[in-house]
């Protein structure tokens, strides 16, 4: 959904929020959005690509190899921090959660800069928990949380993890949980990448494309397929947000 459309729709959602306040729980299980079909697309922007920056402190170097199962999982379920309480969503900026991003990325063995860049990419709509739940009444397959994760993806990624006992419908209220789930989702996508790729994209670019379009399309892009318009737009935004994300996780 385009950014402009979100703000046109937000007025209607605000009104509907009051009617939905009596029942905030999702009424219909959501399903993952359809993956973008690889098709011809324009050349990626000249913005520095992921993998071109130095290693953030304590995290995996962007573009480096992440071995499946090579990192130990946390023994404590992520709980909301002080920043995740109250009206954290007012004037929300992913950089406010740099500490959580660094911690989750380290536990999952993925790039903190990549994880932060994805949070910036996913910041195209308001993340007020009440508005997210109200919108879900209109669009049952909508994603939840600051990382915009769909129910199917969350149910898959939480299996065997320290947050296995947490629920998908907690994501709007708990950014820490959303960040942890996104980090391990990237970890699982990395495990499904082929060892050698024949395309023009780097590892972090492929993982971002996988986060946006699914593992099957990610592998197709790794083999040389060209992204469609939606996937290319997501990749262009990743390039635009890359430097900002690096600054945030190093702050």
Note whether residue 11 is domain-resident.
Answer: yes
CA–CA separation, 73 vs 188, rounded Å? Answer: 13
CA–CA separation, 203 vs 207, rounded Å? Answer: 6
Contact yes or no for 242/117 (Cβ under 8 A):
yes
Distance of CA 6 to the CA centre of its chain: 18
Note whether residue 60 is domain-resident.
Answer: yes
Cα atoms in the 13 Å half-sphere on the side-chain side of 138: 14
Note whether residue 28 is domain-resident.
Answer: no
pLDDT(193) > 70: yes
pLDDT(249) > 70: yes
pLDDT(232) > 70: yes
Residue 70 binned pLDDT confidence (cut-offs 50, 70, 90): very low
Number of domains observed in the structure of the chain? 1
Tell which wins on pLDDT, 17 or 124: 124
Over residues 186-210, mean pLDDT: 94
Rank 6-10, 66-70, 240-244 by mean pLDDT and report only the highest.
240-244
pLDDT at 35: 40
Tell which wins on pLDDT, 92 or 24: 92
Note whether residue 43 is domain-resident.
Answer: no
- Residue 42 DSSP SS3: coil
pLDDT(158) > 90: yes
- Residue 152 DSSP SS3: helix
State the DSSP string of 159-184: TTSTTTTS-GGGTTT-HHHHHHHHHH
pLDDT(191) > 50: yes
In this structure, of 3-17, 93-107, 118-132, 221-235, the range with the lowest mean pLDDT score is: 3-17
pLDDT at 97: 97
Residue 149 binned pLDDT confidence (cut-offs 50, 70, 90): very high
pLDDT(52) > 70: no
Find the CATH number of the domain harbouring 125. 1.10.530
Distance of CA 188 to the CA centre of its chain: 13
HEC readout, 14-36: HHHHHHHCCCCCCCCCCCCCCCC
In the chain, pLDDT over 70 holds for what percent of residues? 66
pLDDT(238) > 50: yes
Note whether residue 30 is domain-resident.
Answer: no
Note whether residue 36 is domain-resident.
Answer: no
Q: Domain containing 84: what range?
A: 3-21+49-250
CB atoms within 10 A of CB 113: 32
Note whether residue 223 is domain-resident.
Answer: yes
Residue 49 binned pLDDT confidence (cut-offs 50, 70, 90): low
For the chain, the distance separating the N- and C-terminal CA atoms, rounded to the nearest angstrom, is 31
In this structure, of 84-93, 135-144, 173-182, the range with the lowest mean pLDDT score is: 84-93
Tell which wins on pLDDT, 35 or 140: 140
Note whether residue 196 is domain-resident.
Answer: yes
Cα atoms in the 13 Å half-sphere on the side-chain side of 44: 22
Residue with tokens 């947050």: 163
Residue 195 binned pLDDT confidence (cut-offs 50, 70, 90): confident
């Amino acid at each position: 959904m385009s950014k402009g459309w979100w703000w046109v729709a937000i007025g209607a959602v605000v009104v509907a929020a009051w009617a939905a306040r009596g029942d905030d729980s999702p009424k219909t299980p959501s399903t993952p959005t359809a993956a973008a079909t690889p098709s011809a697309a324009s050349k990626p922007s000249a913005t520095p690509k992921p993998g071109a920056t130095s290693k953030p402190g304590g995290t995996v170097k962007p573009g480096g190899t992440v071995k499946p199962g090579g990192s130990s999982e946390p023994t404590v379920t992520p709980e909301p921090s002080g920043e995740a309480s109250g009206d954290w969503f007012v004037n929300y900026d992913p950089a406010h959660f740099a500490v959580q991003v660094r911690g989750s990325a380290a536990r999952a063995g993925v790039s903190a800069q990549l994880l932060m860049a994805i949070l910036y990419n996913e910041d195209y709509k308001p993340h007020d928990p009440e508005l997210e739940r109200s919108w879900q009444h209109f669009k049952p397959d909508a994603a939840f949380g600051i990382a915009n994760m769909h129910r199917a993806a969350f149910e898959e990624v939480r299996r065997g993890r320290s947050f296995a006992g947490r629920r998908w419908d907690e994501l709007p209220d708990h950014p820490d949980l959303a960040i942890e789930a996104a980090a391990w989702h990237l970890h699982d996508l990395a495990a499904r990448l082929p060892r050698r790729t024949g395309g023009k994209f780097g590892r972090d670019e492929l993982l971002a494309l996988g986060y946006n379009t699914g593992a099957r399309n990610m592998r197709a892009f790794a083999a040389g397929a060209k992204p469609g318009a939606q996937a290319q737009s997501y990749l262009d935004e990743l390039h635009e947000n890359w430097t900002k994300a690096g600054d945030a996780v190093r702050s």
